[in-house]
């Protein structure tokens, strides 16, 4: 008879649930809790039940996790993006952008404008461009992604769930980076520290999804949504071309990863995304000498450093041997935007979320 597995349920606490002022708010800041299963669990359970007694002691399975949704959540209702302004009105300065399906926590609503907080941005958005109330909760439930956020200064992503050797380290990822959670947590009895591991996806590399394990103690696992992007002074003070490249690229946060793709509509890979954004902003790849693949891009252009890099320039990453296999575009404030992989699509990361191999500029 198959051994029964006991469900373990964890509750995500959303840091964005805020203490609101005495001014009017749209809804209460109470949370709605909904159980949502992790992907790939049926196979994990089948493997568990069919492996035999000796293997069962190797694994502990997180059967499901709970999604906690604030009632005052809002989701962007737009085709591309909506502006976040410093005050309620179209005449006020833009402080950030909220791309399609991104979230915000509603702090107050006045005369058709919602004051929201999303990521590091706080400002006002017209309620015409937001799903709010029960609609907002329903959309949030539909769009939530289970992610592992690095909480330590850095964590090693390993090929296998074991600390017995350093030879299985794929990459070191830094604090704040979000990694897509692929399946149940496992613990290996061969690890002297009995470390609990989370199976995650790193970037797609040359069409292959890079999958590994991170130690649970160094990540915070929970459901999250895309957040707003802040308008950066470094970008605002750059040339019109560089300014346009950054703003244009941010419209496609969440664009799905497609190996070999160069479309800002149906999807692109890492180098295809750069190529497509450059083209969208009027740059001819042949004229500026921009190749198609990340490894070729890393050998061209003009080499720049962390001291001289500007918005719109390119940052390259590689495997443990230093071979380039990924490219991102610098968007200011030590951040890059890139087509990360099929699990998360286009997203913003810390420029040093992985080890940088080289930086290049194809712009004047």
**Chain segment 213-248, per-residue pLDDT in tens:** 999 889 998 889 999 998 887 888 899 999 999 999
pLDDT tens for each residue of 341-363: 999 999 999 999 999 999 999 99
When the pLDDT of each residue in the chain is averaged and rounded to a whole number, the result is: 83
Count Cα atoms within 13 angstroms, Cβ side, for 37: 9
d(CA 312, CA 360): 10
Q: Is the pLDDT of residue 177 over 70?
A: yes
Mean pLDDT of 169-184: 90
Residue 164, pLDDT score = 85
pLDDT at 261 over 80: yes
Distance (Å, whole) CA 361 – CA 363: 6
- As a whole number of angstroms, the distance between CA 163 and CA 188 comes to 10
Asked whether residue 274 carries a pLDDT value surpassing 80, the answer given is: yes
The one catalytic residue among 78, 281, 326, 346: 326
d(CA 14, CA 225): 10
Close Cβ partners of 176 (under 8 Å, ≥ 6 residues apart)? 149, 150, 350, 353
pLDDT band at 189 (very low <50, low <70, confident <90, very high): low
Confidence of residue 21 (pLDDT cuts 50, 70, 90): very low
Q: Report yes or no: 349 and 330 within 8 Å, Cβ to Cβ.
A: no
Q: What is the DSSP letter of 304?
A: -
Percent of the chain beyond pLDDT 90? 65
CB distance 25 to 67 below 8 Å: no
Give the pLDDT confidence of 54-70 residue by residue, as tens digits: 344 455 555 345 678 99
Residue 338 bears catalytic tag:
yes
What residue ranges define each of the domains in the chain, with the CATH number in brackets?
1-231 (no CATH), 238-361 (3.90.1720.10)
Q: Considering 78, 270, 281, 346, which one is annotated as catalytic?
A: 270
Is the CB of residue 65 less than 8 Å from the CB of residue 38?
yes
Query: 83 with 136: CB under 8 angstroms?
Result: no
Q: Looking up tokens 């769930």, which residue turns up? A: 161
Question: What angle do the packed helices 270-280 and 240-250 form, to 10 degrees?
Answer: 130
Q: Which helix (H) or strand (E) holds 55?
A: helix 53-56
Higher per-residue confidence, 3 vs 159: 159
Q: What is the mean pLDDT of residues 243-262?
A: 94
Q: Are 293 and 327 in contact (CB under 8 A)?
A: no
In the structure encoding, which two tokens stand for residue 358, read together? Answer: 């080289």
270 is catalytic: yes
Asked whether the beta carbons of 85 and 95 are under 8 A apart, the reply is: yes
Contacts for 293 with CB less than 8 Å, ≥ 6 apart: 271
Q: What is the pLDDT of residues 107-153, one digit of tens each?
A: 999 999 999 999 999 999 999 999 999 999 999 999 999 899 999 99
- pTM of the full structure: 0.75
Instruction: Choose the catalytic residue: 20, 78, 281, 338.
Output: 338
Distance from C-alpha of 297 to C-alpha of 285, rounded to nearest angstrom = 11
Strand partners, 148: 179, 221
Kindly indicate the confidence band of residue 162, based on its pLDDT and cuts at 50, 70 and 90.
confident
Indicate the pLDDT class of residue 188, thresholds 50, 70 and 90: low
Q: Which residues contact 21 (CB under 8 A, 6 or more apart)?
A: 107, 108
pLDDT band at 205 (very low <50, low <70, confident <90, very high): confident
What does the alpha-carbon distance between residue 205 and residue 326 come to, in Å, rounded to a whole number? 6
């Amino acid at each position: 008879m198959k051994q029964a597995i006991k469900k373990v349920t964890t509750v995500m606490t959303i840091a964005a649930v805020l203490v609101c002022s005495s001014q009017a708010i749209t809804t209460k800041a109470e949370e709605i809790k909904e159980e949502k299963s992790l992907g790939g669990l049926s196979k994990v359970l089948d493997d568990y039940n069919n492996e035999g007694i000796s293997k069962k002691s190797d694994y502990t399975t997180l059967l499901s996790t709970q999604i906690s949704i604030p009632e005052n959540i809002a989701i962007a209702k737009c085709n591309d993006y909506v502006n976040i302004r410093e005050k309620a009105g179209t005449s006020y300065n833009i402080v950030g952008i909220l791309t399609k399906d991104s979230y915000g926590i509603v702090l107050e609503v006045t005369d058709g404008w919602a004051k929201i907080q999303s990521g590091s941005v706080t400002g006002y958005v017209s309620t015409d461009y937001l799903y709010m109330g029960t609609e907002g909760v329903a959309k949030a439930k539909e769009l939530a992604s289970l992610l592992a956020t690095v909480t330590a200064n850095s964590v090693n992503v390993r090929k296998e769930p074991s600390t017995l050797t350093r030879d299985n380290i794929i990459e070191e990822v830094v604090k704040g980076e979000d990694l897509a959670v692929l399946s149940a947590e496992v613990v290996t009895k061969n690890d002297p520290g009995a470390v609990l591991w989370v199976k995650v996806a790193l970037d797609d590399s040359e069409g292959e999804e890079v999958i590994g394990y991170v130690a649970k103690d160094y990540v915070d696992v929970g459901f999250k949504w895309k957040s707003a992007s802040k308008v950066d002074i470094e970008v605002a003070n750059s040339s019109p071309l560089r300014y346009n490249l950054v703003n244009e690229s941010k419209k496609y946060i969440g664009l799905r990863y497609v190996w070999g793709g160069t479309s800002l509509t149906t999807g692109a890979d890492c180098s295809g995304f750069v190529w497509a954004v450059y083209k969208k902003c009027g740059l001819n790849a042949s004229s500026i000498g921009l190749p198609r693949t990340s490894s070729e891009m890393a050998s061209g252009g003009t080499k720049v450093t962390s001291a001289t890099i500007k918005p719109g320039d390119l940052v390259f990453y590689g495997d443990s041997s230093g071979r380039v296999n990924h490219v991102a575009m610098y968007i200011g404030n030590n951040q890059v935007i890139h087509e990360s992989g099929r699990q998360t699509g286009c997203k913003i990361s810390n420029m040093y979320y992985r080890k940088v191999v080289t930086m290049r500029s194809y712009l004047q």
